[in-house]
Amino acid sequence: MTMKINYQGKKRFFFLSIIFFVWIFFIAFKLFKLQVIDFNTYLAKVKAQTNRVEDLHSKRGTITDRHGEILAISLQSKSAFLSNKDKEISLAVFRDFCRLLALDNSQKIKVNKRIRRGEKFIWLKRKLTDEEYQKILPLASSKQTAGTIDFIDEYRRVYPQKKMAAHILGGVGMDEQALGGIETSLDSEIKGRGGKIKVLIDARKKIFQFKYLEMPVAGKDIHLSIDAALQFLVERELVETVRKYRAAGGAVIVLRSTDAQILAMASYPDYYPQMIWRAPSQALKNKAISFLYDPGSTFKIVLAAAALENHSSAPGEMFNCHQGVYMIKDRRITDVHPFDRLSFEDIIIQSSNIGAAGIGQRLGKEKYFHSIQAFGFGRRTGIMLPAEENGILNSPEKWSGVSLVYLSHGYEISVTPLQMAAAFNVLASGGYWLQPQILLEPGPESEKRKILSLSSQQPLTAILTAVVDRGTGKKARIAGIEIAGKTGTARKVKAGKYASSYVSSFGGFFPAGDPQVTVFVMIDEPLGLYYGGDVAAPLFKSVAAKIMPYLRLFPDRPDQKEIYL
């Protein structure tokens, strides 16, 4: 009996010992797992509860015009945040904050949720203006709420010229992300390198220290080729014309003829770069480089240049204009004013579509196509701005039996206003295609190609001067200075068909004898009057009239001692 009791006791002791050792092993393994295997994981969790790393934006480079006028600059400002150590106090403080500063409903809901979730570091509003900072400073300094609201220094992008040069500059978002214009195309240079800051939280869940992990590095300053004074004047003239004709929009480009530096580039409708994220999509489009349209009769300068350069036609040569109506296959080509016969010069001066068809047919599609390409059509100019369009130029293999005739007066091709400005500048620069430049100091890869001889350029310049003196461009004339230019009126294409709305345009340069400035203007869908000579030519004149005295361009005609506007 005693042996049986001892046996059962030993058995029970052995069983309890196994359980004890298993329990000890389990605890030891758990401690080993916590302190060795999962050490990094739990350390990260502890740090997450006591530390938070926030990105800090660097100071973006300043953008100026050619004379150093500031167009965009980053100023130091305060960003307000909430140290959420007590939910009820934080909610009360946030209500007071909302009474002082306007926040939209989505922001309010977001902050309220984060407070109730118990997050310790919560942005209230980033990049406060000086007025906003002064409004909430008493709240942050109050004894009752001390330590609940605090501030971090950041940089706020400011555009002191308001809307001016909006499409050239673009804008940035709240997190300094580039949102268009030069801010986007040169973002890697302008933005610099951001930094990081660690937010340290003590055992009472109160933010007690900031520690800079990486200091921000400021971005590079950018100097644009535009002249802020001219940009302002050009934008004002464009807006007045758009409103006068209740047009959908428009664009004006001003180039320095000798090197194609852009002195002004205006597009309408426009927006405030400071609030680019609120701008409607149609206002964000830079019509100077992104608006595609059939150029109409302004394209006749390319036809005439190609014909002269290829010796297929010559000044003084007569062409049959069929009394204003010409049938080719099943298509009818018409002129606004019927003519029996016109010389090569008068076809351009009077803007005869039928005469242009005759010049084009004699030139031939292969030579014409190569000349169009040489003038830069069908590809981007390469300007340092985003969203530039290539345009549309089909190869001769895709041309129909009427394509050559239609291309001769600016249809069956899509271009941008900047491409047309560069084309007019070929004549102004002595026969060179020059890549348009928006930076004051362009890179060495800037393109320059000789595409037109002086024997072609000089007579064509004389023809374009006559266009303004006695042709379709008379409303661009300024007595006392010679202007060379060409009008254009083209139907718009909508849903694959030509519509009843038009694009009016005018391109030219002055003084014609020694070109200094090239200007191209485009008005989209003017109501009422729509011919280029009635809508675009007067806009060209008003722009030129502002440019001449500003750039000190004096009368170049010996019989004139003054410029009369």
The reported pLDDT for the residue numbered 229 is 97
**DSSP secondary structure, 412-453, as one string:** S-BB-HHHHHHHHHHHHTTSEEE--B-BSS--TT--EEE-S-
The reported pLDDT for the residue numbered 38 is 60
* Residue 391: exposure state from Cβ atoms within 10 A (0-12, 13-18, ≥19): buried
Round to whole Å and give the CA distance between 291 and 411. 15
The reported pLDDT for the residue numbered 13 is 67
* Domains in the chain with CATH codes: 52-74+158-196+214-224 (3.90.1310.10), 228-550 (3.40.710.10)
Q: Work out the mean pLDDT of the chain and round it to a whole number.
A: 89
Confidence of residue 556 (pLDDT cuts 50, 70, 90): low
Taking a C-beta distance cutoff of 8 angstroms, is the pair 82, 148 a contact?
yes
The reported pLDDT for the residue numbered 172 is 94
- In this predicted structure, the answer to whether residue 388 has a pLDDT above a threshold of 90 is yes
User: What are the pLDDT digits (tens) for 297-317?
Assistant: 999 999 999 999 999 999 999
- In this predicted structure, the answer to whether residue 264 has a pLDDT above a threshold of 60 is yes
What distances in angstroms separate CA 309 from CA 367, 371, 457, 533, one per listed residue?
10, 9, 9, 27
The reported pLDDT for the residue numbered 4 is 52
What distances in angstroms separate CA 197 from CA 84, 153, 359, 482, one per listed residue?
18, 11, 70, 63
- In this predicted structure, the answer to whether residue 74 has a pLDDT above a threshold of 70 is yes
Confidence of residue 42 (pLDDT cuts 50, 70, 90): low
Q: Which residues of 38-59 are buried (b: 16+ CB within 10 A; e: fewer)?
A: eeeeeeeeeeeeeebebebbbb
The reported pLDDT for the residue numbered 532 is 97
- In this predicted structure, the answer to whether residue 49 has a pLDDT above a threshold of 80 is no
User: What are the pLDDT digits (tens) for 495-549?
Assistant: 778 888 999 999 999 999 999 999 999 999 999 999 999 999 999 999 999 999 9
The reported pLDDT for the residue numbered 454 is 96
Q: What is the largest CA-CA distance in the chain?
A: 146
User: What are the pLDDT digits (tens) for 202-211?
Assistant: 555 555 556 6
The reported pLDDT for the residue numbered 330 is 85
- In this predicted structure, the answer to whether residue 37 has a pLDDT above a threshold of 50 is yes
Percent over 90 (pLDDT), the chain: 63
The reported pLDDT for the residue numbered 46 is 47
Mean pLDDT of 203-225: 74
Round to whole Å and give the CA distance between 318 and 320. 7
Confidence of residue 39 (pLDDT cuts 50, 70, 90): low
Mean pLDDT of 444-458: 92
Mean pLDDT of 98-114: 87
- In this predicted structure, the answer to whether residue 564 has a pLDDT above a threshold of 70 is no
DSSP 60: P
The reported pLDDT for the residue numbered 498 is 82
The reported pLDDT for the residue numbered 360 is 97
DSSP-based three-state secondary structure for 113? helix
The reported pLDDT for the residue numbered 96 is 86
Confidence of residue 144 (pLDDT cuts 50, 70, 90): confident
What distances in angstroms separate CA 187 from CA 60, 176, 289, 363, one per listed residue?
9, 10, 19, 46
Mean pLDDT of 351-372: 97
